Amino acid sequence: MDEHDRYSHLFTGGTPPFWLFDYQLQSLFSVVELAQTRAKAEPRLYSDVLARARDVALIGAVGYFEAFCKHQFAALVNIHPPLLETFAAKRAQAAVKLSRLTSLFGRFDTEIGFLVAEQYDFGGSRAINQLFRDILDVTPLSHDEGDDFERILNVRHLLVHHAGLYTYEYLQGKALPQKPAVRPFRDDIQLDTKQFHDYEERLGMLGVKVATVTTKALYENTDELREVAPDRRGAVGLLLAGVWDVIGELPEGD
């Protein structure tokens, strides 16, 4: 049994959070690249398909990032359940339905993180920072990184809630450089492949930041893992699975 199989029960989908997120981003990259190849070969048939592929892939990339943050939170709790004591002290209203707790008989201390994470929305930089602050006393996203995520999130909201058509509120934020005569509710956003890949790469790096800063905080909050159950310490390293392909050292949190 390898390390991944040994600790798979601690992770959503049985896969370390960042590793899953990175795989999902790579899959979206492939979708857009395939659509672009087809569009170059047969522009009349596939140009619109490419545009829709970029839109849907960006929506997916943002969703996968939010899910990654939720999965990371759940994994941290599953690896070291005493983190919930700190979390509960800061969030007196935190609760899990008894009917759901009963489903964890015999698995409570390895799966409680799933139920707790499920209660919270990770759909914004402020929410992400507050949730990790309350469990590990660290805010993984800097002010600039949070603003960057919110800009990407605004593009996603425009695509999801307004079919990509500009709104007055969106244009005030100027999330993308626009032509002088853009008309709210008449003109739609035009993402090119370069812009999509830029957004995707930025989301990937935000994922790296969340993974590394929260994992480092787990080390620091558990006396270099001495307080973590011996049979789970090996799972901590898996929280950085895939990250070392991108960076070589842990960044400092805010």
The predicted pLDDT at position 249 comes to 47
Q: Which domain holds residue 138?
A: 7-245
With respect to residue 192, please indicate whether it lies within any of the assigned structural domains.
Answer: yes
19-51 tens-digit pLDDT: 999 999 999 999 999 999 999 999 998 999 999
With respect to residue 253, please indicate whether it lies within any of the assigned structural domains.
Answer: no
With respect to residue 241, please indicate whether it lies within any of the assigned structural domains.
Answer: yes
Computed on alpha carbons and rounded to an integer, the radius of gyration of the chain in Å comes to: 20
With respect to residue 58, please indicate whether it lies within any of the assigned structural domains.
Answer: yes
Q: How much is the pTM?
A: 0.88
With respect to residue 211, please indicate whether it lies within any of the assigned structural domains.
Answer: yes
> Is residue 163 exposed (0-12), middle (13-18) or buried (19+ Cβ within 10 Å)?
exposed
The predicted pLDDT at position 91 comes to 79
With respect to residue 1, please indicate whether it lies within any of the assigned structural domains.
Answer: no
Quote the number of domains for the chain: 1
Is the confidence at residue 127, as pLDDT, over 60?
Answer: yes
| Residue 87 near residue 135 (C-beta atoms within 8 A) | yes
With respect to residue 250, please indicate whether it lies within any of the assigned structural domains.
Answer: no
With respect to residue 129, please indicate whether it lies within any of the assigned structural domains.
Answer: yes
84-102 tens-digit pLDDT: 988 888 877 766 665 565 5
